[in-house]
Structure 1
Amino acid sequence: MTEHLWWQRGVVYQVYPRSFQDTDGDGIGDLEGVRRRLDHLVELGVDAVWLSPIFPSPMADFGYDVADYCDVDPIFGSLEDFDRLIADVHARGLKLILDFVPNHSSDAHPWFAESRSRRESRKRDWYIWRDPAPDGGPPNNWMSNFGGPAWSFDEASGQYYHHAFLKQQPDLNWRNPELRAAMAEALRFWLDRGVDGFRVDVIWHLIKDEGFRDNPPNPDYAEGQPDITRFTQAFSADQAGVFEIIAEMRKVVDDYDERVLIGEIYLPVERLVAYYGPDLSGVHLPFNFHLILAPWNARRLAELIEAYEAALPIGGWPNWVLGNHDQRRVATRIGPAQARVAAMLLLTLRGTPTLYYGDEIGMMDVPVAHELAQDPWERNEPGHGRDPARTPMPWDGTPGGGFTTGAPWLPIGDPAALNVADAARDPRSMLALHRALLTLRRATPALSVGAYEGVPAEGDVLAYRRRIGETEFVVALNLGHKPARLEFGESRLEALLSTHLDRMGPEPAGSLALRGDEGLLLRLR
């Protein structure tokens, strides 16, 4: 274990601050709320807290439109609140990871105000400005991830500026060395305050095609899909020059002891692993979202795990994610029973897992009517909103769920039906399962940093071994609702944990029986 860094051994827990704990009654979570709930994370057994953006922002995209990279938005508190939070995080033996949003700023950022003030502005080139096409329209066919063209026209200067997301989120020009230096200083500002690392938003977008060529049409596009899928992003993202930029970020982070750089990357496995960088000079962890995106099918997942393990560069550390603020919750995608199996999968695969707040109690998406939508994507392209996965954490069964004494910024669902306090008293709850899994993972190096080896299985069963030296475990997961069996020779197995939380002890040799929706963690005796 001492040969591995904390971010290799540990488990990351994502907090969406707006929805975690409100302490001032405005219905929006804050930093003091995160601080007051740290004991929950300690009891759960995670190792690091990742905060979604807390920077000053007009909140057009809820903090992913940054107006100042070196401060805290008053909605969440102050720098003093942040300092108290990080001190308490470290006092509890935890780490703190900040969300960093370098692809774009807010249009309210002083940098952009200066950039758009005139063409001769010294910060004009800090953003991406282009002349209109010959017909007066946008410079090319690039589409915004939130619908419509990725270009907005500035009447005063007669040019378009690029925005991969909202028009209020102009993209920064990472080919400009002054911009790069300013961003490095922003990273150092937080590292000097003790931050243990960064999750870098849409890192594969940072460099665009130098010629701004049109993206090719997507042959698989169908009506009703988001606008962004009309074209393949061949020239608007995942460009070769991005690795030089990431290497510079990595050098800044590496100037501090044991800090981690994580990149948000939605790309196929073969492109994803490129973001470890030449000679591992890239991000430490290119986020692997394929458990979210893949069909919940044992054979497909087995192939995915093997392909990912095979694609990793020598020395590259794997990671796995089941949920985040941009995706439907895992219990909604595959159902509450299979969400328990998924938890065992996430927390026993080789590599660093990331948990999304609320998944440890089995939270599901909370319906949010279109007319009540907060998410700009939902307002622009109905049916694609992310609000249902961002709703407040239900801490207890009171009407405000223990989250707020005011009106919550998003509906809180039915806290009487599912909440942390009740789950903590239930020995077979989803929370109890997570605590048990995390306890075993922490006590058992084979489950966190040991070798991975697939076990042949059929039908709905996914199985694999985890091993360090003579210590060996088997994980057997039934991804179906009906009973299944795993043929396992004559090895003698001892069940340590079932996702049903009712099965321990020696198992008969030769064939392992799994109930529907059951996962088993076993030790070879």
Structure 2
Amino acid sequence: MSEWWKKAVVYQIYPQSFQDTNGDGIGDLQGIISRLDYLQSLGVNTLWLTPIFKSPMVDNGYDVADYTSINPIYGTMDDFDELIKDVHDRHMHLLLDMVVNHTSDQCKWFQESKKSRTGKYADYYIWEDPKPDGSAPTNMGGVFGGSAWEYVPERKQYYLHMFAKQQVDLNWDNPEVRKAVYNCMIFWAKKGVDGFRLDSLNSLSKRRPFVDLPKAAGSDYGNVFACVSNGPHLHEYLKEMNKEVFSKYNMLTVGETSNTTVQEATKYIRPDELSMVFQFEHMDVDSGRFGQYSNVRFKMSDLRDTLARWQKGMSWNALYLGNHDQPRLVSRFGDDKHFRKESAKMLATMYILQKGTPYIFEGDEIGMTNVNFKSIDDYHDLDSHQIYNHMLDWGVSKEEALDIIQRKSRDNGRTPFQWNTDKEAGFTTGKPWMTVNSNYKEINAAEAEKDPNSILAYYKKLLKLRDNTDTLIEGDFKLLSPDDSDIFAYERKDDKATYLVITSFAKDKVRYDLSTIDQKFDQLDVALNNYDDLEEADNVLYLKPYQALVVKVKD
């Protein structure tokens, strides 16, 4: 089996918001097909679609009702077949998002399971008896608020749901459940799918028996992740999954593994388990009282230290700064007001050239920003509404609560793609399912295509450099200047070459002394620079705000 995924650059598509072709305001598969030339010209070679399966869309498709049917809002199976053919004709790959921890409560499996305690589907989910007083089996809280248990009168039992009550946790201890999920994966593999992103993967094996837990900070409930993260049979299940599915189709597999340390994550990256995992430590550098929802500004040193630790500890990383569950990276880690272009280019350079497979979220390549709706009613995301109400209950003012939502809502990354200056940014001819960001007249792909100094043009250069440079793919990673307060610099090195990646997080000009990293500037060849010039003197660089450099060390 080849490790083709090491040369992959993955572009995440949120189908609802990418491109609508039938005027209903919702992106669709034909919309993706219509934009394949754009994606190929960008330099990505692998596409990841968030869930496109039949779903009531309580959580934007992460509540699957039928794993082998296309959600009609996106099109038909014929549309999918056309998409995968067109992707492969361009020598690109396609990944699907498999939600294997839970299903929708509208799934046939659950509809049958809730009827009685006997029958084929009776044990497909996690059912527990009430406490003697009739209350929930434990005090575990769901990720989206409230209890993680929901009562069903027909069975006189509660079922477990880590997320919304409509997202019911599967019982992976049941071999029939595992077989059913593998069969669904094989269905797509036979259609030519090249791999899977596996949602909430490290939650499959629960720790039993379930018990009451200490209340989590800022909550009336115990933290459900204490009972579900990296459970006792997880690697046993993943080896089985790999044997039955992945190994037979030479797939890229990336598992979503929250609450996982470097030491724990290394156990997943094996030929008989996964290609790589998504970790979340660097997504917590600006967490606050209510977890990821906060108005705390990150410290660059925390971000650098976390990423460097994972580079050192893992043989291969999944590299990302943004996705459908996060705010826009330029608004979060850069400066979207004064140095949007510069900081967007810098951030891309910093993370994409580390060792691992880069993941680019749709719109980041043109510098899309947070949307900052002015009312909580404008937000669609159920998690944003839940945490907003929770903050009010805990005494946070409406103004501060909305400010936090504006900064961190998942909807920031889910607004429609900004294609051009036409009405609704060229996303749809109808009314979009979510309001388009009002800055689309200035920030859009069409304008970026015309500007040789645009963020988009820079991404193309950056991805071409990586694709043509083995050292920037397989070379070793070494952190440089670990105590610098403004600079995130590192070395990529193999027996062929040495490259330095130097990125400034400062809003002002800063000084960087190359002698501290034992290099002479007259031995350096600039391979990429997000500015038109470079100031240097006596082996010292004077970096402009958010400047990024990639330099090759000459022999």
Partner residue, 2:497 = 471
Within a 5 Å distance, the mapping from 1:77-226 to structure 2 comes to 77-218=75-216, 221-222=217-218
Instruction: Compute the displacement of 1:22 (Å).
Output: 0.3
Q: Which moves more between the two structures, 118-127 or 285-294?
A: 285-294
Cα distance in 1 between the residues matched to 2:473 and 2:371: 33
Q: Secondary structure at the match of 2:426?
A: coil
Within a 5 Å distance, the mapping from 1:67-466 to structure 2 comes to 67-218=65-216, 221-222=217-218, 231=223, 233-270=225-262, 272-276=264-268, 280-294=271-285, 296-312=298-314, 316-334=315-333, 335-336=335-336, 337=339, 338-368=343-373, 369-382=375-388, 383=405, 385-414=409-438, 415-456=440-481, 458-466=484-492
Instruction: Compute the displacement of 1:32 (Å).
Output: 0.7
The question of 1:503 aligning with 2:502 is answered no
The superposition leaves residues 491-524 of structure 1 with CA deviations (integer Å, 9 ceiling, x where unpaired) of 2212222223x137x9656222211211111111
C-alpha distance 509-248 of structure 1, shift in aligned 2 (>3 A) = farther
The superposition leaves residues 27-71 of structure 1 with CA deviations (integer Å, 9 ceiling, x where unpaired) of 000011011111111111011000000000111111111111111
Instruction: Compute the displacement of 1:380 (Å).
Output: 2.9
Q: CA RMSD in A?
A: 2.0
Partner residue, 1:520 = 549
Q: Which moves more between the two structures, 283-292 or 68-77?
A: 283-292
Cα distance in 2 between the residues matched to 1:359 and 1:293: 20
C-alpha distance 401-67 of structure 1, shift in aligned 2 (>3 A) = same
Identity between Structure 1 and Structure 2 (%)? 38
Cα distance in 2 between the residues matched to 1:178 and 1:343: 43
The superposition leaves residues 336-395 of structure 1 with CA deviations (integer Å, 9 ceiling, x where unpaired) of 333321111111111111111001111112134322332222333324742222000010
Instruction: Compute the displacement of 1:306 (Å).
Output: 3.3
The superposition leaves residues 233-284 of structure 1 with CA deviations (integer Å, 9 ceiling, x where unpaired) of 321332121111111222233333431111011224335514516x553221
Q: Secondary structure at the match of 2:167?
A: coil
Instruction: Compute the displacement of 1:122 (Å).
Output: 2.1
C-alpha distance 428-194 of structure 1, shift in aligned 2 (>3 A) = same
Q: Tell me, which stretches of 5 or more residues in structure 2 are unaligned?
A: 287-297, 389-404
Cα distance in 2 between the residues matched to 1:267 and 1:174: 19
Contact 1:131 / 1:139 at 8 angstroms: preserved in 2?
yes
AA of the residue aligned to 2:495:
G
What TM-score, normalized by structure 1, do the two folds share? 0.93
C-alpha distance 25-232 of structure 1, shift in aligned 2 (>3 A) = closer
The superposition leaves residues 78-108 of structure 1 with CA deviations (integer Å, 9 ceiling, x where unpaired) of 1111010000011111100000001111111
Q: Secondary structure at the match of 2:449?
A: helix
Contact 1:141 / 1:149 at 8 angstroms: preserved in 2?
yes
Contact 2:225 / 2:259 at 8 angstroms: preserved in 1?
no
Cα distance in 1 between the residues matched to 2:6 and 2:72: 34
Q: Secondary structure at the match of 2:94?
A: strand
Q: Secondary structure at the match of 2:447?
A: helix
Cα distance in 2 between the residues matched to 1:207 and 1:402: 44
AA of the residue aligned to 1:485:
R
Contact 2:331 / 2:369 at 8 angstroms: preserved in 1?
yes
Q: Which moves more between the two structures, 344-353 or 300-309?
A: 300-309
Moved segments of 4+, more than 6 Å: none
Instruction: Compute the displacement of 1:461 (Å).
Output: 1.0
Q: Give the total of aligned pairs.
A: 511
C-alpha distance 509-87 of structure 1, shift in aligned 2 (>3 A) = farther
Within a 5 Å distance, the mapping from 1:54-65 to structure 2 comes to 54-65=52-63
Cα distance in 1 between the residues matched to 2:275 and 2:322: 20
Cα distance in 2 between the residues matched to 1:62 and 1:174: 23
Contact 2:320 / 2:351 at 8 angstroms: preserved in 1?
yes
Q: Secondary structure at the match of 1:183?
A: helix
Cα distance in 1 between the residues matched to 2:6 and 2:414: 27
Q: Which moves more between the two structures, 410-419 or 506-515?
A: 506-515
Contact 1:35 / 1:85 at 8 angstroms: preserved in 2?
yes
